[in-house]
Amino acid sequence: MKKGQCFDWFLISLWLSPLLVSVAFCQHAVPAEGLWTGQTIGFEEMSKMLENHLQKMIQDPNKKVEIRDFRGYEKITLPRKNLSCRIFLPEQAVRGGSIAGTMVFYANGQEVKRIRISAWVDIYGDVVVVKHYLKRQQAIQEDDVQVVRKNFSLLPQDVVTDVKEVLGKRTTLAVNNLEVLRLNMLEVPPLVKKGDRVIILFENDQFKITALGEVKEGGRKGDKVKLVNLSSKKEVCGRVMDANTVQVDF
């Protein structure tokens, strides 16, 4: 196997805990200079192994993992030949922040050392922020937002990472300048609102009839809304098809 080559896969460890864990198996190649009977692995090298593994767990090239405050309980000395390692982490480690796990080292396929590790993980990536104050229910335009680099470990899980996710939507609350947008701050605006005049479409397999109607409540595409048939003055309920048409099923 070439020096530094790694293989990663994910398994469920029944013997560690009932929680889902991630397992990495990496062929660990180190320089042989100065070695005699064993290989000493320090915190810096173990930290890099953890960083590389988390980067693969995230599976997003736009996010960058950085390990801070790595803590292992001891430096370890291992046999030189056919050294490998498995890293066990809880699934939520991909969110960053404070994590803890286990590194298990093998020589010739046999376990030779097991240590507990902990670290603070920063995960940097692109998020969408507003360029200026936005009022409640304001439609978001491309000029209203920008993409900046932020530390995901300090942000809620539902932050918006793509400008395309916000275009065509409006705010559900007032948003301050440079505030990071979250999914719960956004909504699709209604296609029709109270007081709109629309075409009421009565249609089945036998016939198709249209009439002018007035919407009594707002609704998005596919929503059921109440409206009044302006010809008969009767209230009906229909499904919003587009900004100009509501279909009544009968």
For residue range 121-167, list pLDDT tens digits in order. Answer: 999 999 999 999 999 999 999 999 999 999 999 999 999 999 999 99
Domains of the chain: 6-122 (3.10.129), 125-187 (3.90.1210.10), 197-248 (2.30.30.760)
Residue 1's pLDDT band, with cuts at 50, 70 and 90, is very low
How far apart are alpha carbons 235 and 227 in whole angstroms? 6
Q: What's the rounded mean pLDDT across residues 218-235?
A: 94
How far apart are alpha carbons 189 and 218 in whole angstroms? 9
How far apart are alpha carbons 191 and 149 in whole angstroms? 34
Length of the chain (residues): 250
For residue range 166-206, list pLDDT tens digits in order. Answer: 998 999 999 999 999 999 999 999 999 999 999 999 988 88
For 131, the 3-state DSSP assignment is: coil
Provide the phi-psi class of 232: left if phi over 0, else alpha when psi is between -120 and 50, else beta: alpha
How far apart are alpha carbons 76 and 233 in whole angstroms? 84
User: What pairing do the DSSP bridges indicate for beta strands 197-203 and 245-248?
Assistant: parallel
How far apart are alpha carbons 8 and 119 in whole angstroms? 20
Q: What's the rounded mean pLDDT across residues 72-93?
A: 84
Q: Is the dihedral of CA 159, 117, 85, 27 positive or negative?
A: positive
Quote the radius of gyration of the chain (alpha carbons, Å).
29
Roughly how many angstroms between the first and final C-alpha of the chain, as a whole number?
A: 70
